[in-house]
């Protein structure tokens, strides 16, 4: 399975093409729209989310509610496009319209300046339109398809916020994946402990008032994972490494960890490795899950636990100092409409990209021309691993 996304933030629409999906997967626009709506909620988002109501349209790869095995194309319209038609026009426009909303003062922390230098753009809008986190819409759409495959294989994915602007969620350590899903879904901030919400909202309000932004940490957990996805035999086949790449590729993400993660630097090996046990019902399991479901770049059957850190959004209403690319004079950076925080939305995106990497790996590892074949192959594999 491979995929592409395309589309500018204020262009007419966003597109994704996925190739290599099994035939016979039940899929509806509603399956995708539910996930798109989850990404659009969350306390602390700006005005744009009031304009957009993301809805997918399939234009290929599906017939009568089932995938065909041919490339699946999904399109999401940008409702805001109507306000940007001449600014973002594909056709040349009159001279006097060319510089409307031109950006010449790059925002620190954004792709603006480096992208401008690299592609030799003199209007930094040409960079920010694609580097915008609007692109994550299509990653969530692709993730929704991936999740559909995973759910047919009894694999469940849940994402939630564990730190927001320095406020930590005291996550109970015995929660199941389903409980994490259920609890975070009820929360506007996608946290599993509702008592922390007031403090977080207050911080978001204060941050907004100060023209500033905050980041945080999101966690994705996956249950029901077959043993042996990914491989130790070559660096580029390690599944934890592929997931790490996918998580860090989310806009504004700066780091990733699995299980105890960076905490491993502070503990002896005896408190990190997960002891192996076996019983007839569950086969091989571990007494603990400090390693977050991976050994040797392969899934070991324990839940995958992966966290990613998101820096505060770099577009500030109280802008930082920058340089105007026309005059080279110091200037305050451009102010674009923005969110105070998008960490809750980012937890939905993280969920999507992890689901996508897992589905990709599963489709590569097992016969998967059709869902029927795939389900049979995974079932046989699970029976084998239990009694190995
Ligand atoms: C974004 C800036 C804002 C956000 C946008 C990401 O958009 P605008 O400039 O249109 O106000 O709302 O996020 C989305 C549109 C989205 O769908 O998540 C940015 O600069 O990254």
Provide DSSP, 56-114.
EEEEESEETTEE-SSPEEEEEE-GGGGGSTTTT-SS---HHHHTTT---SPPTTSSHHH
pTM of the model: 0.97
What is the atom index within ligand 1 of the atom nearest the CA of 137? 17
The pLDDT value recorded for residue 335 is 81
Q: Could you tell me the residue ranges of all domains in the chain?
A: 2-387
Query: Alpha helices, DSSP H only, in 125-266?
Result: 125-131, 136-152, 177-185, 197-209, 239-248
> Does residue 289's CB lie within 6 angstroms of at least one atom of ligand 1?
no
Tokens 């490494």 correspond to 241
211-270 pLDDT per residue, tens: 999 999 999 999 999 999 999 999 999 999 999 999 999 999 999 999 999 999 999 999
Q: Please check the confidence at residue 337 and state whether its pLDDT lies above 80.
A: no
Distance (Å, rounded) from C-alpha 284 to C-alpha 301? 8
The pLDDT value recorded for residue 71 is 98
Least confident of 55-69, 243-257, 326-340, 367-381: 326-340
The pLDDT value recorded for residue 129 is 98
> Does residue 315's CB lie within 6 angstroms of at least one atom of ligand 1?
yes
> Does residue 337's CB lie within 6 angstroms of at least one atom of ligand 1?
yes
Q: Please check the confidence at residue 336 and state whether its pLDDT lies above 80.
A: no
Indicate the pLDDT class of residue 95, thresholds 50, 70 and 90.
very high
195-207 pLDDT per residue, tens: 999 999 999 999 9
What is the atom index within ligand 1 of the atom nearest the CA of 45? 12
Percent of the chain with pLDDT over 90: 93
Please give the span between the terminal C-alpha atoms of the chain, in angstroms, as a whole number: 29
Indicate the pLDDT class of residue 334, thresholds 50, 70 and 90.
confident
What is the atom index within ligand 1 of the atom nearest the CA of 136? 18
Average pLDDT, the chain: 96
> Does residue 187's CB lie within 6 angstroms of at least one atom of ligand 1?
no
Distance (Å, rounded) from C-alpha 45 to C-alpha 291? 34
The pLDDT value recorded for residue 38 is 97
Q: How much is the average pLDDT of 337-355?
A: 95
Q: How many CA atoms lie within 13 A of 208 on its CB side?
A: 17
Q: Which fold has domain 2-387?
A: Chorismate synthase, AroC fold (3.60.150)
């Amino acid at each position: 399975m491979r995929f592409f996304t395309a589309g500018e933030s204020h262009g007419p629409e966003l597109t994704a093409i996925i190739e290599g999906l099994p035939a016979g997967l039940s899929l509806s626009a509603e399956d995708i729209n539910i996930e798109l709506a989850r990404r659009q909620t969350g306390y602390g988002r700006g005005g744009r989310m009031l304009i957009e109501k993301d809805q997918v349209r399939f234009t290929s790869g599906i017939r009568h509610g089932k995938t065909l095995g041919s490339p699946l194309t999904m399109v999401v319209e940008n409702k805001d496009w109507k306000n940007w038609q001449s600014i973002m026009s594909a056709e040349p426009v009159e001279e006097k319209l060319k510089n409307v909303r031109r950006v010449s003062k790059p925002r620190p922390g954004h792709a603006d300046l480096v992208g401008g230098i690299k592609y030799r753009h003199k209007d930094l809008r040409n960079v920010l339109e694609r580097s915008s986190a609007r692109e994550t819409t299509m990653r969530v759409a692709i993730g929704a398809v991936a999740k559909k495959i995973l759910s047919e294989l009894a694999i469940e994915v849940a994402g939630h916020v564990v730190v927001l602007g320095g406020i930590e969620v005291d996550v109970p350590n015995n929660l199941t994946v389903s409980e994490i899903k259920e609890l975070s879904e009820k929360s506007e901030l996608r946290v599993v402990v509702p008592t922390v919400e007031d403090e977080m909202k207050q911080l978001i309000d204060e941050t907004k008032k100060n023209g500033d932004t905050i980041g945080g940490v999101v966690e994705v957990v996956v249950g029901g994972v077959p043993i042996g996805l990914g491989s130790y035999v070559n660096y580029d086949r390690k599944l934890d490494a592929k997931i790490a790449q996918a998580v860090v590729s989310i806009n504004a993400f700066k780091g990733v960890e699995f299980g105890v993660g960076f905490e491993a630097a502070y503990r002896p090996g005896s408190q990190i490795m997960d002891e192996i046990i076996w019983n007839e019902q569950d086969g091989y399991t571990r007494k603990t899950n400090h390693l977050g479901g991976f050994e040797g770049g392969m899934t070991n059957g324990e839940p995958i636990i992966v966290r990613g850190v998101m820096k505060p959004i770099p577009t500030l209403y109280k802008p930082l100092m920058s340089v105007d690319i026309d005059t080279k004079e110091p200037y305050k950076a451009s102010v674009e409409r923005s969110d105070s925080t998008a960490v809750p939305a980012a937890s939905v995106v993280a969920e999507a990209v992890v689901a996508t990497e897992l589905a990709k790996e599963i489709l590569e590892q097992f016969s998967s021309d059709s869902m029927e074949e795939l389900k049979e192959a995974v079932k046989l594999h699970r029976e084998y691993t239990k009694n190995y």
